[in-house]
A and B are shown apart, each in its own frame.
Chain A
Amino acid sequence: DIQMTQSPSAMSASVGDRVTITCRASQGISNYLAWFQQKPGKVPKRLIYAASSLQSGVPSRFSGSGSGTEFTLTISSLQPEDFATYYCLQHNSYTYTFGQGTKLEIK
């Protein structure tokens, strides 16, 4: 199975900061990677698909990049509503894998 290593597992940042979260795949997955945001008690929401395509309705401060084994999610200027947990998902193989999650907290 393909393993996804997400880092950091937690971080604190301030409104207006630029934030980057990384996912590394144990083997190449082309661009078969998505990013999700989940707020406490809520359903996960897809932000990015195909590694770098922005989901309709998602603010442009969110962006994704990468291919192969290394991927990043960047939030260019943190807003109060962005404090949440973020997960990557690889769907290259017949079995999918989520990263462990990154909890983004207010500094």
Chain B
Amino acid sequence: QVQLVQSGAEVKKPGASVKVSCKASGYTFTSYGISWVRQAPGQGLEWMGWISAYNGNTNYAQKLQGRVTMTTDTSTSTAYMELRSLRSDDTAVYYCARDGGYCSSTSCPIMDVWGKGTTVTVSS
């Protein structure tokens, strides 16, 4: 079955970086992309960006431009999200979701499968 398995929880100090992984299985990795979404404690969902697993093209949320980098490793069907210069308000659960980046008359794989989430805590 289609599955996204994320890396484990992280605790980081302010100013540090974190890199979260998302390993895909059960589908052709390069036929889709991956969106990253985060959720601060008690808050709503925030879209962070998207990467194509086909060619590595990325779109990032404006507020994270310059601090976030999304990459993929097609040899292992794994997507990565790195966030730098961490602040306390980056404390959140980080999700990856399969995202083909398109909807057609027969298919609309926009965030149809999600990973279980990775908790990132930023604290001194």
Report which A residues bind B (CB closer than 8 A).
Answer: 1, 31-32, 34, 36, 38, 43-46, 49-50, 53, 55, 85, 87, 89, 91, 94-101
**What is the bound-complex CA distance between A97 and B115, given in angstroms?**
19
Cβ–Cβ contact A98 & B112, under 8 A: no
A96 near B50 with CB under 8 A, answer: yes
Residue pair B117, A46 in contact (C-beta under 8 Å):
no
Minimum distance in angstroms from B22 CB to a CB of chain A: 13
Of the listed residues B60, B62, B114, the one surrounded by the most CB atoms of chain A closer than 10 A to its CB is B114
**B17 to A: closest C-beta gap in Å:** 23
A residues less than 8 Å from B8 (CB atoms): none
Q: How many residues of B contact A (CB 8 A)?
A: 21
Contacts A43-B115, A44-B111, A99-B44 given; 8 further ones with Cβ under 8 A?
A: A36-B45, A43-B116, A44-B45, A49-B112, A89-B110, A95-B61, A96-B47, A98-B47
In the complex, are the beta carbons of B47 and A49 less than 8 A apart?
Answer: no
* A59, B82: Cα distance in complex, Å: 37
B37 / chain A contacts, CB cutoff of 8 Å: 44, 98
Interface residues of B (CB under 8 A from A): 35, 37, 44-47, 50, 59-62, 95, 103, 108, 110-112, 114-117
* Nearest A-chain residue to B95, judged by Cβ: A43
Closest 5 CB pairs of A and B: A96-B47, A101-B44, A49-B108, A94-B59, A98-B45
Complex CA–CA separation, A44 to B59 (angstroms): 21
Give Cα A100 to B39, complex, Å.
11
Which one, A34, A95, A99, contacts B111 given CB within 8 A? A34
Residues of B within 8 A of A94 (CB): 59
Q: Which of A91, A96, A100 has the most CB of B within 10 A?
A: A96
